[in-house]
Chain A
Amino acid sequence: MNDFKTNANWTASVISDIKKQAETGGMLLTGMGNPSPYPNYWDRILLDASQVTNPSIDPLREPMELRTFLGRKSSKLEKETYPQLELSTPIMFSAMSYGSISLNTCKSLAMAATDSGIYWNTGEGGLHKDLYKYANRAIVQVASGRFGVHEEYLRAGAAIEIKVGQGAKPGIGGHLPGEKVSKEISETRMIPEGTDAISPAPHHDIYSIEDLRQLIYALKEATDYEKPVIVKIAAVHNSAAIASGMVRAGADIIALDGFRGGTGATPMIVRNHTGIPIELALASVDQRLRDEGIRNDASVVVAGGFRSSADIIKAIALGADSVYIASSALIAVGCTMCQKCYTGKCAWGITTQDPELVKRINPEIAKKRLNNLIRAWSLEIKEVLGSMGINAVESLRGNKERLRGIGLNETELKILGIKHAGE
């Protein structure tokens, strides 16, 4: 590729993509999240700290609380609450299906979530029989293909997530090629061995917000109103209006997935050009729900390329109750971001079903690394809370006073609802 002459428009990748398409006549496929150099707002937001009038707090000496509850709360105290997910720290593992990732990877995530007191998410691939023992820490997903969805599955999970969209491929369905559908995957997904598993782009029973409401309540009925129902959408231009509709339709938690979120396989055209940054979607959704007085009716979970505890802290201050992480969790167990997931040949045994490769993930070791990551990030969050003179994460949530923008224009600041540094 170095053979091409330097050209700002006709870069090496543009040229080689054109050549590839001229040969195959097909769409370009890729894996993981949007790698293009769009603005990353986390990097343009700074945190506040306490000085003099407000002592900072030393997390080594004083309790520092990260416990988080997700689910519907009404705005006035009642005797009972709606079902809640209790997290030891405001981080969860985002949806990754058995099929898109290996069983060993699923196992590592499930065990780590159980150890760390957080939740993992089955994705749309059903729950493998070996993973039922970790089901009380699982969010079980119901996606457009309905793979592996049955009563026992719904009852086993701690919460149910209706997946409407995904940040890496808004508006696009999924496709697990037949060669990956092994005996075990076919059993878990409840489809014949060797057939392609195709998730339609929309849910064919959801063409409107009233349809979504019906599905939400069908799932609540099926599980005796004992589990929160999450609705997950990709962050798109009108997320705020959609989110408000979702809450009114009965969603207990809404999950927003920004355009830097990862995937096992997606058309490059969609991954690189569709959707909006999670920072902006989060700020506008949180503000909209507040304006309508329904922010307490649902928790807000955000996903889409969280790289560090700093990103997470900023997300909480912008209004998130918790974040979902997936790419960073996979990096913790070996992923190098080569973006070749769609080939099914992940050298690290993550996004592959090849038994030789899958062996490379040792769930015990991987679990430990995931636990370490959660622990390390939680320690960092506590350290920062302390520096702000705050000793509970509730007091950071939506507390935009503690954020300042740097190098942002007025529109960006307005959408984020923060002031510029120096103000």
Chain B
Amino acid sequence: MILNKYRTEKDISACGLFGFINEDGKRQNGEIARKAMALMRERSNGLGGGFAAYGIYPEYDDLYAFHVMYDDEKSKERTEEFLSKNFIIGKDEKMPHRHVNAIKTHPLLWRYFLKVKEHKQDLAEIEEKDFVVKTVMQVNSVLEGAYIFSSGKNMGIFKAVGYPEDVADFFKIEDYHGYIWTAHGRFPTNTPGWWGGAHPFGLLNWSVVHNGEISSYGANKRYLEMFGYKCTLMTDTEVVAYLADLLMRKHQISIEKACSVLAPRFWKDIEGMSEKEKKEHTLLRQYYGSAMLNGPFAVLIANEKNLIGVNDRIKLRPLVAARRKSTLYIASEESAILEVCEKPDKVWHPKAGIPTIGTLKDK
């Protein structure tokens, strides 16, 4: 793992975020996300920026796309040896990038398109994914100098130390075409210079960009550990990605309910609900109290089908949404949306704890 060298228990940061989904599946290049982020430059301080995009690798859509950063050739060799034990490497290559003035040094950046090996293929789908999760956790926590920062199919995460616009240029994100994009500019209060600390955070197809600080981090982390998730990156955002995976993939809970776990309704509001709803929300709080995210946050969670925006229970960080035809935009600031969508049909401020969800239409 590329170490968070200050070994801080968790990485506190403020930020700007932006995302959109074309529910009709239309793919657009990264220029939109870059432009929106550039407008919110004030919200970051050049110590981290990143993008996640879905639909970018259609030619390899049944292979896991791993984006990996390495400290050196040695860690690359070690990791490749480890991966090749259980995976067939369909393709591997240096991640395309160009040199930009603002980004002086960078780790080795490699991408792989992988398939789980035959002898592992009697695994049911859910087990195969658990196996991939385990592999990612192992590489990130055990193999020194290697960090898998993207591990989904037909999607990818691009992140670095720098302002989001610089990161976009560095990774040439104008060359990628996706139907969902999320983006992040970071303003960390510590851990300068650590690429792994930039957002989005990803696991399988999940990606998370996050503005906030999770005051319940200790409780969430210890809860996740019971299910085999290792919070090795010491950032609170990591916890959100793992909770999304646990709740929505492993426990098969609906998006709305999962968001109610992350930002539960207040008891005073639950009291006033219909008997059926009251029971549902009470059960969620009884079962998943330790998964509640407390503290100020605005977060965008995405997977291959959905873009979800949700705030903490009392909305201590900004989040605004807009819609134009079949595109849903969510951002920290309205101005960022207007920058890329001049005349939205509707602009609104999502209520605290109530998710805003955009879903890809079935073809």
Contact = CB atoms under 8 A, between A and B. Distances in A.
B267 A65 contact: yes
Interface stretch (B56-64, B75-83, B174-182, B287-295): B287-295
B4 to A, nearest CB: 15
A50 B290 contact: no
B90 interface: no
Contact of A53 (B12, B226, B313): B12
B218 A76 contact: no
A401 interface: yes
A293 B226 CA distance: 5
A400 interface: yes
Contact of A391 (B219, B225, B285, B294): B294
B10 interface: yes
B9 A395 contact: no
Most buried by A among B9, B215, B227: B215
Interface in B185-229: 189, 213, 215-219, 221-223, 225-227
Interface string A371-402: 00000000000000000111110111111111
B292 A394 contact: yes
Given A55-B316, A77-B253, A392 B287 contact: no
Contacts of A388: 215
B348 interface: no
Interface string B79-115: 0000000000000000000000000000000000000
B226 A290 contact: yes
A81 B215 contact: no
Interface stretch (A67-75, A235-243, A323-331): A67-75
Given A57-B314, A394-B219, A399-B216, A84 B251 contact: no
B274 interface: no
B283 interface: yes
Contacts of A389: 213, 215, 294-296
Interface string A37-57: 000000000000010011101
Interface residues of B, number: 40
Contacts of A401: 9-10, 217-218, 221
Contacts, number: 108
Contacts of B13: 53
A402 B131 CA distance: 33
B119 interface: no
Interface SS, A side: loop
B143 interface: no
A177 interface: no
Interface string B245-258: 00000010100010
Interface in A49-99: 50, 53-55, 57, 62-63, 65, 67, 69, 73-81, 84
Given A54-B213, A65-B266, A391-B314, A396 B283 contact: no
A84 B286 CA distance: 9
Interface string B1-42: 000000001101110000000000000000000000000000
A75 B215 contact: no
A63 B218 CA distance: 22
A295 interface: yes
B290 A397 contact: yes
22 contacts: A53-B13, A54-B12, A55-B316, A67-B267, A74-B287, A75-B226, A77-B253, A77-B283, A77-B287, A79-B283, A84-B286, A295-B226, A296-B287, A389-B294, A389-B296, A390-B216, A392-B294, A394-B289, A394-B292, A395-B295, A397-B219, A401-B218
Given A75-B227, A390-B295, 9 more contacts: A54-B296, A77-B284, A78-B283, A290-B226, A391-B313, A395-B219, A397-B289, A398-B290, A401-B218
Interface of B: 9-10, 12-14, 189, 213, 215-219, 221-223, 225-227, 251, 253, 257, 264, 266-268, 283-290, 292, 294-296, 313-314, 316
What are the nearest 7 A-B pairs in CB distance? Answer: A401-B218, A394-B289, A395-B216, A395-B294, A399-B218, A399-B219, A54-B213
